Amino acid sequence: MSTSQLPPPSNFIRTIISEDLENGRREQVITRFPPEPNGYLHIGHAKSFSLNFGLAEDFSGQCHLRFDDTNPVKEEDEYVEAIKEDVSWLGFDWGDHLYFASDYFDQLYLWAVQLIKAGKAYVDSQTVEQMRETRGTLTQAGVDSPFRNRTIKENLELFEKMKNGDFPDGTHILRAKIDMSSPNMNLRDPAMYRILHAHHHRTGDKWCIYPMYDFAHGQGDSIEGVTYSICTLEFEDHRPLYEWFIKELGIFAPQQIEFARLNLSYTVMSKRKLLQLVNDKHVSGWDDPRMPTLVGMRRRGYPPEAIRMFCERIGVGKGASWIDLSVLEECVREQLNKSSLRRQAVLNPLKVTISNYPADKVEELDAPNHPQQPELGTRKLPFSHELYIDRDDFMEEPPKKFFRLGPGREVRLRNGYIIKCDEVIKDENGEVIELKCSADLDTLGKNPVGRKVKGIIHWVSASQAKKVGVRLYDRLFKEENPDKAANYLDALNPESVKVSTALVEPSLLNAEPGTTFQFERVGYFTVDSKDSQPGKPVFNRTVTLRDTWAKLK
């Protein structure tokens, strides 16, 4: 698998629509996003609905949100609400155009009867196994059902009885009478209605027969006057079936256009697998910050603008597209670099004592909230004679290019003074436990005279710093394509989260859940919206400052 070349930002669907409008083939643009409410939305869905809502915006049209809720067994209101929230979160608005396939059940039933009356549909009473066996294969034609030539009257009676609940599940189905030898398997007398004695999240117990997705989807689009039914490539083979239903019913014909679904490296997107990750507790829930779901990304601190930027950047094409996860992470960094306030936090503390600074003095230094955006103001950063710096910023025997702290070396404290390491203190095992340093007190906001100090390190004041929980998230899977493993669960990254603590500037203790900060030189961190308590924030690492995986490849 290789990362594909990114296609140009415009896309072939936009081109088709522009031409249609210019040539007068269409007068308006109506699109829709049609999720099944049987799971939470993931980044692949974001690609789909950004495209649909985006096209409606581009052409001053409208985009509907329609729940294709034809399967009562797997669908729930919880998902409906979550999906609405996710679409809104990305900034899209369906206005008055919220629909449900289940709103069309009465109409679909009438259309089924219409097709029976036209001799285009019949009730089949074979078993599921018999139907599977007689369906044929890609190279072999199917065999007609012995029930295929039932009279219209008999079909009408049986279908009515199916509807009235006279039969148990699986005993009869209604099939379209098309062609059992069609090279397109979808046209070999596909099922239209099945018996399901199941409670539906919206229609309750009104129905015990339910339309198949393929008998509902295209007609749903037609009823809503959708001009462009945009869907992923696996529906290309279903298009002739949708067109057949539309033609036989004599109703408005939308134009179906297929595009390639998004595949993202180090990620799985099948709903079944995501559900399994949740149910088997490999993650803490659908909104676990490692999940590729929009609820997960929101909790992790990905800004909606970054996801929209990503969807725009990856483009839309016909060829199978694998996008590297780093493309998404780069969008997140770009956005957060602009929008997040800077703070100082030390994850792996090493004590530093400033020997020439009074032990009882605390100074409040002014530190900008954002170095490139002075309008975002400043905050007070306490400084005292005892500090913590990050262990990684000190080396006893530093190599040439190491510009941070070492014995006898100088470094600038971010937003503070230049300090020099005078003495290294170790414990009985030889581990460095403290550095004695001296500060050049004439270097606040200015360079020292006569020498250059290259390195800048972050720090916190020991007595004012607050300890908070941090969760260092990494990719959920360690393999580029988890589906290549014998079992995708084997590809899980055992180090996808490390729970730890950090010492942070005092103001962070009251940070609002959901706010993201750049911990300078460390990474972007977002206050967890679930596990934080007032005065006790937990910080999720949203993304590292740089792509740490790139060098591993």
- x/- site string to ligand ATP, residues 22 to 61, per CB under 6 A? ------------xxx-x-----xx-xx-------------
Q: Is 519 helix (H, G, I), strand (E, B) or coil?
A: strand
By Cβ distance, which residue is nearest to ligand ATP? 44
- x/- site string to ligand ATP, residues 173 to 212, per CB under 6 A? ----------------------------------------
Q: CA-CA distance, 41 to 33, in Å (whole number)?
A: 12
CB half-sphere exposure, 276, CA atoms < 13 A: 10
Q: Is 143 in the site for ligand ATP (CB under 6 A)?
A: no
CA 545 to chain centre: 20
Minimum CB separation from ligand ATP for residue 238, in Å? 11
Buried b or exposed e, range 483-496, using 16+ CB within 10 angstroms: eeeeebeebbeeeb
In the window 452-491, what residues touch ligand ATP (CB under 6 A)?
none
* Active-site option among 135, 161, 202, 261: 261
Residues 6+ apart with CB under 8 A from 300: 289, 290, 473, 526, 540, 542
Indicate the DSSP class of residue 135.
T
Minimum CB separation from ligand ATP for residue 233, in Å? 9
> Quick check: 506 and 465 in contact, CB under 8 A?
yes
Q: CA-CA distance, 508 to 516, in Å (whole number)?
A: 11
Q: CA-CA distance, 113 to 120, in Å (whole number)?
A: 10
Q: Is 271 in the site for ligand ATP (CB under 6 A)?
A: yes
Q: Is 131 in the site for ligand ATP (CB under 6 A)?
A: no
Q: Is 313 in the site for ligand ATP (CB under 6 A)?
A: no
Minimum CB separation from ligand ATP for residue 306, in Å? 17
CB closer to ligand ATP, 38 vs 186: 38
Q: Is 261 in the site for ligand ATP (CB under 6 A)?
A: yes
* Active-site option among 32, 36, 175, 290: 36
261 is a catalytic site residue: yes
Give the number of other Cβ atoms within 10 Å of residue 153's Cβ: 10
CB closer to ligand ATP, 145 vs 293: 293
CB closer to ligand ATP, 213 vs 517: 213
Minimum CB separation from ligand ATP for residue 16, in Å? 17
Minimum CB separation from ligand ATP for residue 287, in Å? 18
Residue among 143, 196, 269, 545 that touches ligand ATP (CB under 6 A): 269
Residue among 107, 186, 232, 481 that touches ligand ATP (CB under 6 A): 232
Residue among 63, 212, 231, 413 that touches ligand ATP (CB under 6 A): 231
CB closer to ligand ATP, 45 vs 300: 45
Closest among 259, 260, 258, 257 to 228, alpha carbons compared: 257
> Quick check: 185 and 135 in contact, CB under 8 A?
yes
> Quick check: 290 and 476 in contact, CB under 8 A?
yes
Cα–Cα distances (Å) from 496 to 20, 282, 288, 478, in that order, read: 48, 11, 11, 9
Interior angle at CA 334, CA 329 and CA 337, nearest 5? 115
- Token pair in block for residue 519: 């911990």
* Active-site option among 14, 271, 478, 521: 271
CB closer to ligand ATP, 201 vs 261: 261
Binding site for ligand ATP (CB under 6 A): 34-36, 38, 44-45, 47-48, 231-232, 261-262, 269, 271
Q: Which residues are catalytic?
A: 36, 261, 271
